[in-house]
C-alpha cells in the first residue's frame, strides 16, 4: 500500500475552467497549515481584545456619566434641604410671633438649634470609589438627620401651639366676656342702699335698665342649669360655663330657653322685664366663680378680648354668696 507524501493544492477561478495546481511536500504543508491557523488565532484574539477594551471603555464612560449625574443630584439634594431649612426657619419665626401675640411661652433658642450642626454621620459606601463623593454623601446624610429632627420638633411645637390656641379659644367662648344687654347701668356691684327696702345691702351684680322686651344675651357658651322664678329676682336664668363660672339673669319678662339647653355666646335667651323686687324694667346680671364659691364684679368681664381673660390676680372677688 502506497502512502502519499505530497500535498496537492488546486486553485480555480470561478469564471474560468483553468486551474492552478501546486504540489507541496507533506512537511511543508504542515508548516503552512500551522502558520495559517496561528494567523487566524492572532486575528481572532486581536479582534476580541479590541472588542473587550472597547466594552470596558464604554462601561467606564457610562459609570463616569452615572457618577456625574449622582454628584449633580446630590448637590441638588443639598440645595433642596437648605431650602427646607429656610422654610422651617420661617415657620419657627411665625410660631414665635404667634406665641408672643397669644402670651404663650416661646420655644428656647437652644432647643430650636438642636446642636446647630446636625448629628455627625458617616457611611463608607462610597469611600472605596471616590473620596469627594463619599464626603458629599455623608454631608447630605448629616444634614438630612438635622432637617428630620427640625421637622419633628417643629411639628411637636406647632401641635402644642394649636392645642394651646384651641384651649384658649374654648376658654374664651365659655368665659363671660360681653355685655348681656343694651342699656344704662343703674346700679353697680357692691354695697348700696336698696331701692325698695332703703337699707344698706350688698348688691351682688350689675343692673342695666332699658325698655321692656329688650333682648338679653348669654355672655358665654354654656348649659342652662335653671329657669324659673325667684322671690327677689323674679323670672331668672342660670347658665353654667365650662370655664368655672355661672352667670345669672334676673327680673326677666320672658324666658326663651329651658334647663338643659346648650347656649352659645351672644344667643338671645330672654327679654328684659321687671319681675320680682324691681322698681322698673332692667336686668340684674351676676357672675359666680364656682371654683371659689364667690360672686365677682361683672365689670371685670365686660367687652374683654381673649388676651384679657380674667385670672385669679385681676378678678375682683369680694364676698361670699
Percent of the chain, pLDDT > 70?
Answer: 82
Tell me the pLDDT tens digit for each residue of 181-191.
Answer: 999 999 989 87
Q: How confident is the model at residue 58 (pLDDT cuts 50, 70, 90)?
A: confident
pLDDT of residue 283: 96
pLDDT at residue 275 above 80?
yes
Lowest mean pLDDT among 11-25, 196-210, 216-230: 11-25
For residue 89, give the C-alpha cell.
426657619
Compare 169 and 122 and report the one with higher pLDDT: 169
Confidence at 289, pLDDT banded by 50, 70, 90: very high
Q: Please provide the average confidence, as pLDDT, over all residues in the chain.
A: 83
Provide the pLDDT for residue 218: 97
Specify the CATH architecture of the domain 184-320: Distorted Sandwich (2.70)
Task: Band the pLDDT of 227: cuts 50, 70, 90.
Answer: very high
Residue 53 near residue 45 (C-beta atoms within 8 A)? no
End-to-end CA distance of the chain: 148
pLDDT tens per residue, range 121-161: 677 766 666 777 777 778 888 888 888 888 889 999 999 99
pLDDT score of 1 more than 90: no
Predicted confidence (pLDDT) at residue 174 exceeds the cutoff of 50: yes
The ranges assigned to domains in the chain are 6-66, 79-173, 184-320
Q: Where are the beta strands (DSSP E) in the chain?
A: 6-12, 19-25, 184-187, 190-193, 200-203, 206-209, 215-217, 222-230, 234-240, 245-255, 262-263, 268-272, 282-289, 294-296, 317-320
65-113 tens-digit pLDDT: 767 777 777 788 888 888 888 998 899 999 999 888 888 888 888 888 8
Share of the chain above pLDDT 90, in %: 35
- Residues 6 or more apart whose Cβ sits within 8 Å of residue 218: 180, 239, 247, 263, 264, 265, 266, 267, 269
Amino acid at each position: 500500500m502506497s502512502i502519499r507524501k505530497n500535498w496537492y493544492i488546486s486553485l480555480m477561478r470561478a469564471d474560468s475552467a483553468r486551474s492552478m495546481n501546486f504540489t507541496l511536500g507533506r512537511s511543508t504543508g504542515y508548516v503552512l497549515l500551522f502558520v495559517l491557523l496561528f494567523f487566524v488565532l492572532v486575528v481572532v484574539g486581536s479582534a476580541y481584545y479590541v472588542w473587550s477594551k472597547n466594552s470596558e471603555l464604554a462601561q467606564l464612560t457610562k459609570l463616569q456619566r452615572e457618577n456625574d449625574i449622582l454628584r449633580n443630584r446630590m448637590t441638588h439634594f443639598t440645595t433642596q434641604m437648605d431650602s427646607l431649612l429656610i422654610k422651617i426657619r420661617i415657620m419657627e419665626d411665625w410660631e414665635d410671633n404667634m406665641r408672643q401675640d397669644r402670651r404663650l411661652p416661646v420655644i428656647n433658642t437652644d432647643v430650636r438649634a438642636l446642636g446647630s450642626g446636625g448629628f455627625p454621620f458617616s457611611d463608607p459606601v462610597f469611600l472605596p470609589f471616590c473620596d469627594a463623593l463619599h464626603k458629599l454623601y455623608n454631608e447630605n446624610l448629616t444634614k438630612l438627620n438635622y432637617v428630620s429632627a427640625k421637622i419633628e420638633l417643629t411639628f411637636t411645637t406647632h401641635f402644642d401651639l394649636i392645642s394651646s390656641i384651641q384651649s384658649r379659644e374654648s376658654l374664651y367662648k365659655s368665659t363671660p366676656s360681653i355685655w348681656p344687654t343694651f342699656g344704662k347701668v343703674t346700679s353697680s356691684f357692691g354695697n348700696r342702699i336698696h331701692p325698695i327696702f332703703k337699707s344698706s345691702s350688698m348688691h351682688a351684680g350689675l343692673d342695666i335698665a332699658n325698655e321692656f322686651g329688650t333682648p338679653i344675651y348669654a355672655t358665654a357658651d354654656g348649659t342652662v342649669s335653671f329657669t324659673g322664678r325667684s322671690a327677689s329676682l323674679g323670672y331668672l336664668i342660670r347658665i353654667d360655663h365650662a370655664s368655672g363660672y355661672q352667670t345669672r339673669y334676673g327680673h326677666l319678662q320672658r324666658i326663651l330657653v329651658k334647663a338643659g339647653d346648650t347656649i352659645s355666646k351672644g344667643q338671645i335667651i330672654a327679654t328684659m322685664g321687671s319681675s320680682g323686687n324691681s322698681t322698673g324694667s332692667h336686668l340684674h346680671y351676676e357672675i359666680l366663680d364656682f371654683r371659689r364659691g364667690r360672686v365677682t364684679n361683672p365689670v371685670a368681664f365686660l367687652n374683654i378680648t381673649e388676651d384679657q381673660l380674667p385670672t385669679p390676680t385681676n378678678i375682683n372677688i369680694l364676698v361670699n354668696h
